[in-house]
Structure 1
Amino acid sequence: GKEPFYNPFDLPIVLQDKVIDRATGQIVYDTDGHNGYLGDTFFANGVPWPFKTVGDRKYRLRILDGSNARIYRLRILSEADFIRSQQVGLGADELAARAKPFLQIGKDSWMWSAPLPRTSVVLAMANRADLIVDFGALVADIPPEAGPQVFYLVNTMPQFDGRGPKGKLDDGGDPRVLPLPFDVPGKPLVELDRPIALIKFVVERETVEFKQAHPDATVQAGRALMPDRQRIPDEDVVAVREFVFERGKGAWQINGRFYDPTIANAAPQIATTGKPAGRDLAEEWILRNGGGGWWHPIHIHLESHQLVSYEKDFAADAVIGPIDAVPVRPPINPVDVTDQIPRTEVIANHDTTILGPNTVARIRMRFRT
């Protein structure tokens, strides 16, 4: 807490799940595995199931999914709702109704142009979410004499293997993959009826003097944070490349090839003379999920990208083949769901795109280095 930019109301949080050997207390990990790693113990900043005492004010939570293969849907529940969920279970509709509101102001390394009201956020591996949680608003209707109030950050995403989230079928057959790696309107959610607690927040009332000395943040829904990002126009795109992510021989391939550090699979151009200042040459990349029910978080180092479109073959979700499924391309019946994603998120800069099952994402980016 002594670094120059330390802010007690700005909390970096790394979420992870690990397998712990009960006899030795050591982490168990298969260094040769290619099927994803799911843990049975959840950690936040290296501590299993921690608690954090906070004041009745806004806090900024910068959350990173540091897990190997787990995708989270994060919600905030009151202590009473969390206990009830563990005792009798809560359906998806009831969970959504009882989840506490917060604001999302950014994703990955970039702030959004405006806060987006949320009651949940989906994080894939290496994804980051920048959230504002107003604990003061959460306890506003509770009299101070009731004492400290407890809230839980929980995970409600069902996931049973390293391929990605799935929902159980009523007939006990193979689980069906979940539809989208986004929270979008009009789509029924599949959620754990007994959410997994990740962090316990204990809200204590601040004194008037403390609040005067440390004013609360002013961020709120409807108030712009920065200008909209400028979209990369068609005329700036000088190359289109396709990358198919698929399984082969029990491991991972891109365009049918294993990783080889001696080969350059693409050599994007950078700014040249004659282009207006700041208008670097851009490329459009087609990121295609090769099948098998796997979710792929596609991270591109050093540069940000913009989402152009996100297409999904919903019909293909009904069929989940073996882990090493034969790639199916192109999708049989792709549907562009970009307009279902909040505009604030679509126009923002990203560095990680969640490539869900049976999906194709188009992204554009400029290269400066």
Structure 2
Amino acid sequence: MNRRRFLGVGASVLGAGALAAVAGPAAARLFAEGHPGRLLSSGLDLPEPFQVPLPVPAVLQPVRTDATADYYEITQRVAELEILPGVRTEAWTYGGTFPGPTVVTRSGRAAVVKHRNELPVPSVVHLHGGHTPADSDGYPVDLLLPVGSSSAGQRAAGMPGMSDMPGMAGMGHEAGRTAEGERTHTYPGKQRAATLWYHDHRMGFTGPGVWRGLAGFHLVHDDEESALPLPRGDRDLPLMLADRSFTEDGSFRYPAIDEDLASPGVTDDYMNGVLGDVILVNGAPWPRLDVDRARYRLRLLNASNARPYRLRLDPQPSGGDALVQIGSDGGLLAAPIAHDVLEIAPAERFDIVVDFSRYAPGTSVRLLNLFGSGRTAEVMRFDVSGKKVGDDSTVPDELSAVEELDASAVDVTRKFVFRRSGSYGWTINGDLYRPGRDLARPALGSTERWRFTSDLHHPVHVHLNQFQVLSRNGRDPGPYDGGWKDTVDLRPAEAVEVLVRFTDYQGTYMMHCHNLEHEDMAMMADFTVQ
């Protein structure tokens, strides 16, 4: 990435104060609310909303089990999918579908997942939110090469250009654990019930990899969750929110510098993030779902590259408090929190319960995105049935015994500044990412206070361990910061402090911005647990 290309971002990366001077108070307010990126328009007529039934990703069945583990196999391959009605789209997929199949596991049992790469490019699989040994975490240069990629030249494919960026030397395949054709990831299951997801994490190419379809759910259950009278079965729904754009022929449209993805990066206008003009839920555009007059558990995942959502039901039920949050990234909250609106940044997950019995039979309830405009202001629709059904589910006043980390017992306090630095790239503490260079070396078993500060909007993700938000801008945590988190929404000119305890596994892990265009432009950092 050269200086001209980075400076081409222009007003999209100005600070809030500078933006106010240039574009007036309305633009400054929009920016301050945390809207990154630039809209990428599709080149074909878009379908009318609420015509397509909501699909639910299939649950992946284990190929075998033993006393302690379940074994799964996933083939990464190109598939022709009908995402827009009547239009064929070539996607990169896990198992031939977008989203990929849902992996369902049990706390205390290992999940052993073998991936086979039949894509035209290398890949890296990261279990987002997984408490995982380092060799299965999905370090960004732990390449899984396509089947048949055995020559030295093919080994290095996928990394060209990155070493040309200042400070980016050493990015070749030698920095990681390269495998050919197949790789097995072992997830020991030493974590509580939670909504996780898996996605591509190849360095420099996470944005286009996820955009083209490499994402799926991984759900963990445990005895504590199973004992609660929460909605289950067909009323426990994973919902993957993702925006995309399409070309005239139905292909995914993405503003890569190199259409063949031999060199990383996006064109000037999209360096602060790519926003699509089609809102997909579980891979379907603006779908609809017939629901009973009963409670539903909705596992919301923002799998967009850069788009944040502010979600609201329309109409609101009488009395409000329509969205009852029961869980966050790392599983159940201690007690439910009722919201009228819910803000969800890229990579965050929120488990919510919606009671559709509060609506009259025949009501159509839209899920809106108040951060959107035009077509992106709508997400999906729920059509409430008129028939009587039984519903023995409830939301208890107490959900889980959540341990609260002790802020007075921290071993180390560290500061991490997420910002554009100089003329070159997105940085953490002024450094562009380089594999093998640590920004922290926490001790196994220690608890640390990490302070994140920002220039612009950066959803910050930490691998290995969930954390707890201690404060936001020197005050109490925000309304969406509760529970165990692995991704925190850092808005422009904010400071967020979190407590993180390092348990079970030593080795090198990462933190990074989960605006995938920022991530691909070097806003990542290593830390090594000793």
Q: TM-score range by the shorter chain?
A: 0.5 to 0.7
> Does structure 1 residue 268 correspond to structure 2 residue 442?
yes
Distance 1:296 1:231 in 2: 24
Matches within 5 A, 1:157-196: 157-158=371-372, 196=377
Q: What is the CA-CA distance between 1:109 and the residue it aligns to?
A: 2.4
Equivalent of 2:475 in 333, 337, 340: 337
Q: What is the CA-CA distance between 1:47 and the residue it aligns to?
A: 0.6
Equivalent of 2:253 in 3, 6, 28: 28
> SS of 1:338's equivalent?
coil
Deviations 1:218-270, CA, capped at 9 Å, x for gaps: 115xx1112343232422x1111111111133421111111001212211101
Match of 2:349 in 1: 128
Q: What is the CA-CA distance between 1:286 and the residue it aligns to?
A: 1.2
Deviations 1:39-95, CA, capped at 9 Å, x for gaps: 1111111111111111110000001111111111000003xx9xxxxxxxxxxxxxx
Conserved 8 A contact 2:275-2:307: yes
Q: What is the CA-CA distance between 1:194 and the residue it aligns to?
A: 9.0
Match of 1:297 in 2: 459
> Does structure 1 residue 72 correspond to structure 2 residue 309?
yes
> SS of 1:136's equivalent?
helix
Q: Which runs of 5+ in 1 are unaligned?
A: 82-95, 159-191, 272-280, 312-335
Distance 2:481 2:393 in 1: 26
Match of 2:472 in 1: 310
> Does structure 1 residue 106 correspond to structure 2 residue 327?
yes
Equivalent of 2:395 in 213, 219, 225: 219
> Does structure 1 residue 153 correspond to structure 2 residue 367?
yes
Equivalent of 2:382 in 187, 201, 211: 201
Distance 1:364 1:265 in 2: 17
Q: Which moved more, 1:37-46 or 1:226-235?
A: 226-235
Conserved 8 A contact 1:10-1:62: yes
Equivalent of 1:11 in 237, 253, 271: 237
Distance 1:288 1:19 in 2: 31
Q: Which runs of 5+ in 2 are unaligned?
A: 1-57, 62-103, 105-231, 257-264, 506-530
Distance 1:97 1:297 in 2: 33
Q: What is the CA-CA distance between 1:207 and the residue it aligns to?
A: 3.9
> SS of 2:430's equivalent?
coil
Amino acid across the alignment from 1:18: R
> SS of 1:8's equivalent?
helix
Distance 1:99 1:38 in 2: 30
Conserved 8 A contact 1:104-1:115: yes
Conserved 8 A contact 2:321-2:338: no
Distance 1:52 1:97 in 2: 21
Distance 1:8 1:102 in 2: 19
Conserved 8 A contact 1:75-1:100: no
> SS of 2:276's equivalent?
coil
Distance 2:387 2:296 in 1: 14
Distance 1:14 1:2 in 2: 15
C-alpha distance 241-216 of structure 1, shift in aligned 2 (>3 A) = same
Amino acid across the alignment from 2:420: R
Matches within 5 A, 1:87-106: 101-106=322-327
Q: What is the CA-CA distance between 1:354 and the residue it aligns to?
A: 0.8
Distance 1:358 1:60 in 2: 34
Conserved 8 A contact 1:58-1:133: yes
Amino acid across the alignment from 1:28: R
> SS of 2:436's equivalent?
coil
Conserved 8 A contact 2:481-2:488: no
> SS of 2:357's equivalent?
helix
Match of 1:255 in 2: 429
Distance 2:367 2:458 in 1: 25
Deviations 1:171-192, CA, capped at 9 Å, x for gaps: xxxxxxxxxxxxxxxxxxxxx6
Amino acid across the alignment from 1:264: D
Distance 1:38 1:50 in 2: 19
Conserved 8 A contact 1:64-1:128: yes
Q: What is the CA-CA distance between 1:104 and the residue it aligns to?
A: 0.8
Amino acid across the alignment from 2:491: G
> Does structure 1 residue 42 correspond to structure 2 residue 279?
yes
C-alpha distance 97-19 of structure 1, shift in aligned 2 (>3 A) = farther
Amino acid across the alignment from 1:154: L
Equivalent of 2:294 in 37, 48, 57: 57
Conserved 8 A contact 2:236-2:299: yes
Sequence identity of aligned pairs in percent?
Answer: 32
Conserved 8 A contact 1:229-1:348: no
C-alpha distance 346-100 of structure 1, shift in aligned 2 (>3 A) = closer
Q: What is the CA-CA distance between 1:30 and the residue it aligns to?
A: 2.0
Amino acid across the alignment from 1:306: Q
